[in-house]
Amino acid sequence: MKCKLVKGNKENLKELCGKLGARGKMDLGPIIDTVNGVLDDIKTNGDEAVLKYTKMFDKAELTPATMKVTPEEIEAGFKAVDPDLLEVMKKAAANIRAFHEKQREEGFMMEVGKGAQVGVKVRPIGVAGVYVPGGTAPLPSTVLMDVIPASVAGVPRIVFCTPPQKDGTIAPVILAAATIAGATEIYKVGGSQAIAAMAYGTETIPRVDKICGPGNIYVNTAKRLVFGQVDIDMFAGPSEILIIADDSANPEFVAADMLSQAEHDRIASAIVLTTSEKLANDVLEAVDRRSDEAARNEILASSLENYCSIIVCDDLDTAIDFSEEIAPEHLELVVSNPEEVLAKINNAGAVFLGSYSPEPLGDYFAGPNHTLPTSGTARFFSPLNTGDFYKKMSVINYNEESLREVYEDVAKFADSEGLTCHAASIRTRFEK
């Protein structure tokens, strides 16, 4: 059997959390050195360096003139996409947009006495950078999820980067998704060189204010290294799902949902916490059978063996405690009373209620963002959202009367810190 069935206890949980936290961790020293070299090169040499790395890593020969996608290429991309898929993408985009429009922020102004006001003004960032990897499987769903919140926030310039294919083109479905989502410009550049180009700017690619989107270890390392020069969305790790299930759950559904995450890569994690030993055994059988029949069965086998477990817990509260400690990226509550259990959940990226809210529904169509905190960071990170593309300015508006009311208090506070010029700035308005 590839997936393990164990009895839940504190020792299991500690071991499991340690194993999940270790996923994907490696000696980053050589990678940091490599990425720093790319960053420095592009900071110094701009387009020339970007094109050099594009040829080196993506085997595509481009020029500054062909690095940016043209309207003609976008039009050709739309024509090359299956019309039925195009309609599905437009429906998904409408759902994602509607959800993220509910997250818009307006700011506020409040009266604090004698005509004085304080408040917050909300403004979109000026330029957003979105990165989506290429690889063997284009990810149009991620394009929609990462571009649409920036569009809804009102970001005027949305720069989209993705690696070119060897012939110097972008997959048509990616071009269509980026355009539907609202990208204002698309560039054929990938890897850490794309992150560097967006962070520092080149002759062709503009400097952005924030970079979001997934990528490999080099992309994620580059994002860490440029953080501070620009903002980033989050530090993403391997994908994961945790399913809390009782004896009302359908074992075939649970097994299918486990595999939907385990097929991502060899270090993806899928865990079931259940109060039913019968369900645990039925899920185990279904997982083994389904994984053997799946197209990506070699990836599944590695993920299931190393990072997947079915854990039998004494009661539902124990399962909830386990979940809270793990803080999973995706949490399915396949129980008879999912709303009651949800009331006890504080740490999860996205929560799916009941047997008919499977995780892939959130990946593609429902509307909430699928760019989620991983590796336990749901304890303090949130899903990508419209607010990630805002910046906020405090506003203070006192008049003479309202400042006179409080100036002695302010000056006294400044005096207490030994900042006499601060105090004088206040007193000079009212004392000779």
Query: If residue 271 lies in a helix (H) or strand (E), which one and from where to where?
Result: strand 269-274
How far, in Å, are 240, 256, 271, 374 from residue 268 at the CA level? 6, 15, 10, 11
Closest by CA to 50, choosing from 59, 38, 36, is 38
Please write down the long-range contacts of 294-299, taking CB distance under 8 Å and 24 or more positions apart. 294/259, 294/263, 296/263, 299/262, 299/263, 299/264, 299/265, 299/266
- DSSP reduced 3-state for 356: coil
Which residue do the tokens 């203070």 mark? Answer: 396
Query: Rounded distance, CA 318 to CA 311, Å?
Result: 11
Catalytic residues: 329-330
Query: Rounded distance, CA 392 to CA 405, Å?
Result: 28
To the nearest 10°, report the CA torsion of 195, 199, 200, 204.
Answer: 60
Query: If residue 197 lies in a helix (H) or strand (E), which one and from where to where?
Result: helix 191-200
CA atoms within 13 A on the CB side of 342: 13
Query: Rounded distance, CA 188 to CA 173, Å?
Result: 14
Tokens read off for 111: 């009266």
Triad 242, 246, 252: Cα angle to 5° = 70
Q: Is the dihedral of CA 59, 65, 68, 74 positive or negative?
A: negative
Which residue do the tokens 């994961």 mark? Answer: 240
Closest by CA to 389, choosing from 142, 158, 227, 141, is 158
Q: Where are the beta strands (DSSP E) in 1-115?
A: 4-7, 108-113
Closest by CA to 183, choosing from 142, 236, 128, is 128
- DSSP reduced 3-state for 150: helix
To the nearest 10°, report the CA torsion of 353, 355, 361, 363.
Answer: 70
